[in-house]
Amino acid sequence: MMEFAGNSRKHNKLEEALAKERQKFEKLIAEAGKEKIIRFIPLKLQTGEYLVTCEDITQSWLAEQKLRAANRHLLDIIDFLPDATFVVDRSGIVIAWNKAMEEMSGISKDDIIGKGDYAYAVPFYGVRRPVLIDMVMHGDLETEPGYEFVERKENTIYAEVFAPALFKGEGANIWCKASPLYDSEGKITGAIESVRDITERKRAEGQLKYLSLHDNLTGLYNRTFFEEEMQRAADGRFDPVGIIVCDLDGLKFINDTLGHDTGDSLLLASANVIKSAFRKSDIVARIGGDEFAVLLNQSGEKTVEEACDRIKAAIDKYNLAGHEIPLNISMGFAVGSVETASVSDLFKEADNNMYREKLHRSHSARSALVQTLMKALEARDFITEGHALRLQDYVTALARAIGMPKRNVSDLNLLAKFHDIGKVGVRDSILFKPGPLTTEEAGEMQRHSEIGHRIAQSAPDLAPIADWILKHHEWWDGSGYPLGLKEEEIPLECRILAIADAYDAMTNDRPYRKAMPHETAVGELEKSAGVQFDPELVRSFLKFLENNQSGKNM
């Protein structure tokens, strides 16, 4: 018989327990100043007496308390993990759901802990279904499809998947990691899974992948992707193969004269025009600075010819829309079977055919482009309304007055018409500024003579006057631009044009001033003789004006 020490309240509880039919319970007993945990198992006998079995479970009870404390500590650690994390037991019942998981899923731990039957999948997929945590507990379990990849490292499984139900149905790409949990005997008691939102990373990866396969300016496929598709076509599965090569004529000319922004706009327009002739599934690529290519699988010669006709029709439609700079695109194509010719050979054939067409049309294309630029200048420039015609009259009269040979006068008239063609490369805000230019703006305006020089060099009809266009703003005293030439270093034609141009500018309205009287303009010419203008030519020009009613009735 065990002696019990303690107060009467404890004995009363024991007596109450013994009065029950059969009861197992634990009791804290004080013995000799120590506390013990005793398990009582009472059994009522037929005689009405009780047989009580007592067991000291102090050590196992303390061990259980330590385990519970450790579990609470583990749950606290899980709760503060930065990744959304949850834990299930062997039966798939949720036993932990941390704060990060509450934030990601929108489900509080109070609403999910204790639930099973794949309830933890609903916040992610909108339905109950096995997920990664089930795979680590049940290796033979077939999960639902959708994982981009599943990788196993020892007992841990990693995966990426799109979870459509997350964030109120917006969905998110998530990275998952799941591992089994073991007891002291190595048996699986549950599993833990961590989830991380990788939507931004996937978006960045997608953007990088897109950029690696697409041209940044036009959005078309790039050369790398086009060559990969050519390799795919090389196995013969897509015979016959058609390749079209297109080249934007005059791009360097546009870049050198009007600037790269204008050139880029023309490239983008070319890309859109070419792309408009094909389906989204067709391979249309920018394969070089001014070169485009189209790969048409399982396409015979008739199909490819029709595609070229669609491109030409799209170009005509663009040019008829009244764009400032027209599109001129040379094309070549080739069609064949990879059984008789490699895809690379087909590409070379198409490229050669394109260059052959480019050579045939280069002269006319350049001339047409120069004429277009001149029309653009006429449409934009405030001084061209009658300016070129008046200049031609002035320079012709002055040339005759000094005895210039007739064969030179025609080129001088060409200079009078095209000397300012470089202004197509100057911003409208500077051309039309109603006041003096800043130093920076003046520098940009002065570039028009260099731009015009490059334009003229590219056009056979203007090549003879290209040097004069470059030098038509040089001053007699050497303070002009762009080369700082002086006196006789300046071509005679430029000296003649400078006087005629200045007089016409002074006697006609400009955005920042009204026209001045003839007499005032004459005084300005006299004042600038020997500084800006050739003094002998000024005298000849003034004499001409005097003999022609002060220049009013030309």
- How do residues 464-493 score in pLDDT, each as one tens digit? 999 999 999 999 999 999 999 999 999 999
Q: What is 381-551's CATH superfamily?
A: Hypothetical protein af1432 (1.10.3210.10)
Predicted confidence (pLDDT) per residue in 148-200, tens digit: 778 888 889 999 999 999 998 999 999 999 999 988 888 999 999 999 999 99
| Residue carrying the six token digits 């599993």 | 191
Task: Give the whole-angstrom CA distance, residue 537 versus residue 540.
Answer: 5
DSSP bridge pairs for 96: 87
Q: What is the pLDDT of residue 51?
A: 82
Cα 141–chain centre separation: 43
Phi, psi of 48 (to 5 degrees): 95, -10
Residues 6+ apart with CB under 8 A from 202: 160, 173
Contacts of 280 (CB under 8 A, 6+ apart): none
Q: Return the closest-CA partner of residue 446 out of 491, 481, 495.
A: 481
pLDDT band at 259 (very low <50, low <70, confident <90, very high): confident
Report d(CA 279, CA 305) in Å as an integer: 16
- Report DSSP state, residue 549: G
Number of H helices, E strands in the chain: 22, 13
Percentage of residues in the chain having pLDDT higher than 90: 54
Take residue 298 and report the two structure tokens written for it.
């399982």
245 burial type by CB count under 10 A (0-12 exposed, 13-18 middle, 19+ buried): buried
Q: Specify the pLDDT at position 553.
A: 45
Paired residues of 160 in beta bridges: 149, 175
- What is the fold, at CATH topology level, of the domain defined by 218-360? Alpha-Beta Plaits (3.30.70)
pLDDT in tens, 62-112: 767 766 665 676 776 788 789 999 999 999 999 999 999 999 999 999 999
Determine the pLDDT at residue 460.
Answer: 75
Nearest partner of 373 among 326, 305, 328, judged by Cα: 326
CATH architecture entry for 79-203: 2-Layer Sandwich (3.30)
Q: Where in the chain is the domain with CATH 3.30.70.270?
A: 218-360
User: Can you tell me the distance from the alpha carbon of 114 to that of 151, in angstroms, rounded to the nearest whole number?
Assistant: 29
What are the tens digits of pLDDT across the range 392-410? Answer: 999 999 999 999 988 889 8
CA dihedral 8, 10, 14, 16 (to 10 degrees): 70
- 78-82, 136-140, 447-451, 485-489, range with the lowest pLDDT: 136-140
Interatomic CA distance for residues 394 and 545, integer angstroms: 9
Contact 134, 89 (CB under 8 A): no
Report the sign of the C-alpha dihedral through residues 479, 482, 483, 488, in that order. negative
Lowest mean pLDDT among 226-235, 328-337, 504-513: 504-513
pLDDT band at 2 (very low <50, low <70, confident <90, very high): very low
State which amino acid sits at residue 352.
N
Tally Cβ neighbours within 10 Å of residue 330: 22
Kindly report, residue by residue over 265-308, the tens digit of the pLDDT.
999 999 999 999 998 888 999 999 999 999 998 888 999 999 99
- Name which residue leads in pLDDT, 230 or 341: 230
Arithmetic mean of pLDDT over the chain: 85
pLDDT band at 5 (very low <50, low <70, confident <90, very high): very low
Gyration radius of the chain over CA positions:
45
Backbone φ and ψ for 376, nearest 5 degrees, come out as -65, -40
Which residues make Cβ contacts (< 8 Å) with residue 204, sequence separation at least 6?
none
Q: At what angle do helices 387-401 and 406-418 cross, to 10 degrees?
A: 150
Q: How far apart are CA 292 and CA 270, in angstroms?
A: 9
Q: What is the DSSP letter of 341?
A: S
**Tokens matching residue 275:** 């792309």
Three-state secondary structure of 62-79? HHHHHHHHHHHHHHHHHH
Q: Where does CATH 3.30.450.20 sit in the chain?
A: 79-203
User: CA 336, CA 197: separation in Å to the nearest integer?
Assistant: 49
Q: What stretch(es) of the chain map to CATH 1.10.3210.10? A: 381-551
- Across the range 224-236, mean pLDDT stands at 89
The predicted pLDDT at position 38 comes to: 80
In this structure, is the dihedral angle defined by the CA atoms of residues 133, 138, 144 and 148, taken in order, positive or negative? positive
- In whole angstroms, what is the distance from residue 41 CA to residue 43 CA? 7
pLDDT of residue 335: 93
**Helix (H), strand (E) at residue 296:** strand 291-296
The gap between the terminal CA atoms of the chain, to the nearest Å, is 144
| Residue 546 burial (CB count, 10 A) | 11
Q: Which residues make Cβ contacts (< 8 Å) with residue 93, sequence separation at least 6?
A: 114, 115, 116
CA-to-CA distance for 452 and 456, rounded, in angstroms?
6
Query: Distance between alpha carbon 430 and the CA centroid of its chain, in Å?
Result: 31
Cβ neighbors of 448 (< 8 A, separation 6 or more) are 420, 422, 423, 425, 426
The answer to whether residue 14 scores a pLDDT higher than 80 is: no
